[in-house]
Amino acid sequence: MPKLTPITIVNVGYRSTNYWVVSSGTSRLLVDLGYPGTMGMMQARLRQMDIPLEEIRYALATHYHIDHAGLAQELKVAGVPLLLFEPQVPAVPVMKSWTKPQDHYVDITMHNNVVIAFAESRTVLERIGIPGEILHTPGHSDDSVSLLLDDGSAFTGDLTPPGRIGYEDPEVVAASWRLLREHGARRVYPGHGPVRPMDG
């Protein structure tokens, strides 16, 4: 039997947003991609946590809001491929409209992105040594996705906790939580705030 490399999870977040590095040894995935204009801060946080940028195999944004995908293009230029899902593609060009010139947002080009279907996510993650899948979990936004590891860790971005629904469609939010639960989610690693149990 092949020896399993333990999965580690590190938060390199700042400005009250969590940016998670999920690693299998030195093969890493960055979940959520910083604020516009903060590449220096992201690099400093990675250095502090002893994570070389070149070990990050993919950048994954849970959704295309500026606090979750603000550095996607700069990370690409630095050599980290952007993993994109089909429902996210139309959300990418809209990001620009939420930024001001002083944010120094670098627009994400549609070149050199790795666009895959959800059904392929397990295979793509397997190739970088991370057992899990990526699921479509709309509710906070139509383009929201969650990374679910086989150990039950769920990286849900801004998927609205069931008790805090405002403008969202409650049925869409409930269906996303149900999907995560059915696929074995046990702990939530949200885009903001502390890690919590799935039913906490």
45 binds Zn ion per the rule CB under 5 A: no
Residue nearest Zn ion by beta-carbon distance: 65
Residues 6+ apart with CB under 8 A from 47: none
32 binds Zn ion per the rule CB under 5 A: no
76 binds Zn ion per the rule CB under 5 A: no
Stretch that binds Zn ion, among 1-9, 12-20, 61-69, 176-184 (CB under 5 A): 61-69
Q: Which of 106, 105, 123 is nearest to 114 (CA)?
A: 123
Stretch that binds Zn ion, among 1-9, 152-160, 166-174, 180-188 (CB under 5 A): 152-160
Q: Which is nearer to Zn ion, 98 or 118 (CB)?
A: 98
Question: What distance in Å separates the CA atoms of residue 10 and residue 30, rounded to the nearest whole number?
Answer: 10
**The sheet that has 145-149: what strands, in order across it?**
132-136, 145-149, 153-157, 187-190, 196-197
65 binds Zn ion per the rule CB under 5 A: yes
> ∠ CA 157-107-194 to the nearest 5 degrees?
20
Q: Which is nearer to Zn ion, 58 or 64 (CB)?
A: 64
Smallest distance, Zn ion to C-beta of residue 91, A:
10
Q: Which is nearer to Zn ion, 133 or 158 (CB)?
A: 158
Instruction: Concatenate the DSSP letters of all residues of 45-100 into one string.
Output: HHHHTT--GGGEEEEE-SS-SHHHHTTHHHHHHTT-PEEEEGGGGGGTTTGGGG--
Smallest distance, Zn ion to C-beta of residue 64, A:
9
Q: Which of 53, 130, 51, 143 is nearest to 91 (CA)?
A: 143
158 binds Zn ion per the rule CB under 5 A: yes
Stretch that binds Zn ion, among 28-36, 64-72, 111-119, 177-185 (CB under 5 A): 64-72
Q: Which is nearer to Zn ion, 51 or 59 (CB)?
A: 59
Q: Do the bridges between strand 132-136 and strand 145-149 make them parallel or antiparallel, or are there none, so unpaired?
A: antiparallel
Smallest distance, Zn ion to C-beta of residue 65, A:
3
Residues at the interface with Zn ion (CB under 5 A): 65, 158
